[in-house]
Structure 1
């Protein structure tokens, strides 16, 4: 019971991360990211910045949904694969966040 409830929560959170990523990317809603970045990203860089950050959120959300879906299955091997996929997704997302922050000189790299 607890495992399936946790899996549903992870799927919901993954969906929300992906949705927020889509909004940031497609609608260029830089205000959803951080107030500091909103002030320091140049107007001409907003499109590239929001696209990259939005994609990082989508990667994170998608891997969370995969983790949750595989967690619902009654096979321990699938749960391990889901955890590995999620960890890889987190690493890729963090690398994408850091590279984007460095490229646009925001965050701790400004």
Structure 2
């Protein structure tokens, strides 16, 4: 039960932050050195990609908690790994494309 509650809380937090970054274009939720080279015209696609990636990671956390709780196994961690890798890759691609590198 603890894992379910913890993963739901953290997953929902990631989804909320991702939504704020994506829909509200709140780029300040990302550390400033990650977006200091992003041009003004690229801020919208950059925040869209970063926000979606964050939401994908959050969805993976939510699914992990639910699947582990329902099945009473650790199979949910497979979802965590897959969604985390997908989200992280999306972030890396957006960083390289719009910021010119990771930092």
TM-score, structure 2 length as denominator?
0.91
* Structure 1 CA distance for aligned equivalents of residues 89 and 35 of structure 2: 21
The alpha-carbon deviation at position 74 of structure 1 amounts to: 4.5
1:49 aligned residue:
46
Q: Which of structure 1's runs of 4+ aligned residues deviate more than 6 A?
A: none
1:37 aligned residue:
34
Number of equivalences: 103
2:90 aligned residue:
96
Structure (1 or 2) with the larger CA radius of gyration: 1
Alignment RMSD: 1.5
Change in Cα spacing, 1:74 to 1:88, as seen in structure 2 (3 Å) is closer
The answer to whether 1:26 aligns with 2:20 is no
Change in Cα spacing, 1:37 to 1:75, as seen in structure 2 (3 Å) is closer
User: 5+ unaligned residues in a row in structure 1: which ranges?
Assistant: none
2:10 aligned residue:
13
User: 5+ unaligned residues in a row in structure 2: which ranges?
Assistant: none
The alpha-carbon deviation at position 54 of structure 1 amounts to: 0.1
